[in-house]
Amino acid sequence: MTFYEKARISGAPIFAVAPMIDWTDRHCRYFHRQISRNALLYTEMVVADAIIHGPRERLLSFDAAEHKVALQLGGSDPAKLAEAVRIAAPYGYDEINLNVGCPSDRVQSGTFGACLMLTPETVAACVAAMKAVADVPVTVKCRIGVDEQEPEVALPGLLDRVLDAGADAIWIHARKAWLKGLSPKENREIPPLDYEIVYRTKQARPDVFIGINGGIQTLDEAAHHLEHVDGIMLGRAAYQNAAILADVDHRFYGAAAEAADWGAIRDRMMAYAEHHVANGGRLQQVARHMVGLFTGLPGARRYRQILSTDAVKAGAGPEVIAAAFAAVDFDGAREAVGA
């Protein structure tokens, strides 16, 4: 039984941080894991061809502390996706997710992402090929439709095919994507959200794990959506103010209510950054994901300034993280969680 089946049967929700290109790299995920022990974390989308032909260790390796972590793949060739799954297997991901929602030009040029909504038979073939070689859940993240598609027709049509092909769960970004005329940023903001169609999709498929994504800003909003679906996925809200993750374990996973130990989180991130720098990395690669942590708190502006300016300097080390945390009034931190 997969963790998705267990969640659906038990009624326990899954809270996830969305895959975001250029954002949810291994350093970001390690940081988020220090704040929430239970949130499901996703990689950036990794193209199957890159895994097959590129630097596999750089693309696929991650710290064991990141579990539970899902690998999101991009592609439209079933054989290549299956090969990418085989290559990724030894790295130990907990889930493989197929991107059927990204509307960027570079994704469209590779004939995958949101444009696959137009060819559900291809998505089904990809899922079937991935399932044939995967020993973890294979899932799909999609939109409710693209361009002139009617979501009430397009979304059920896609789901029928991919579920028949063996998909273990569906994550739905509750917006259409416009493949021409809107930038990726505009595609996250301009097409209207339609949460109700995701709710109806779940009602029509009570035996399928359905998770919702798109425009969700707070844990209160997340809790409301979970009255209708099985899972909730936050993207930019979780990234831009990661303190919101500090209450996830309590609200959605039954952990005891307790204030985040920001001092311990600081120390773990300093140790992680020290190891990264010692192995040839740059502090900024880690620190850039931490900049929005204390949004709205006294001292947050100075915190951001320190991380943004000092972390990029030659020779910068974990002492920059210590200095940034020292600028924050932690007495106000708890008030920001879930706000």
Annotated binding site for FMN: 72, 141, 173, 213-215, 235-236
Query: Is the Cβ–Cβ distance between 169 and 139 less than 8 Å?
Result: yes
Distance (Å, whole) CA 122 – CA 303: 47
> Amino acid letter at 319?
E
Residues 6+ apart with CB under 8 A from 119: 76
Query: Is the Cβ–Cβ distance between 268 and 34 less than 8 Å?
Result: yes
Query: The tokens of 69 are what?
Result: 């972590």
Sign of the Cα torsion 145, 213, 120, 54 reads: positive
Residues 6+ apart with CB under 8 A from 275: none
State the maximum Cα–Cα separation within the chain, in Å, rounded to a whole number: 57
Residues 6+ apart with CB under 8 A from 82: 129, 130, 132, 133
Complete DSSP assignment for 199-210: HHHHHH-TTS-E
For helices 262-278 and 319-326, angle between their N-to-C axes, nearest 10 degrees: 160
28 classed as catalytic: no
Residues with catalytic function: 102
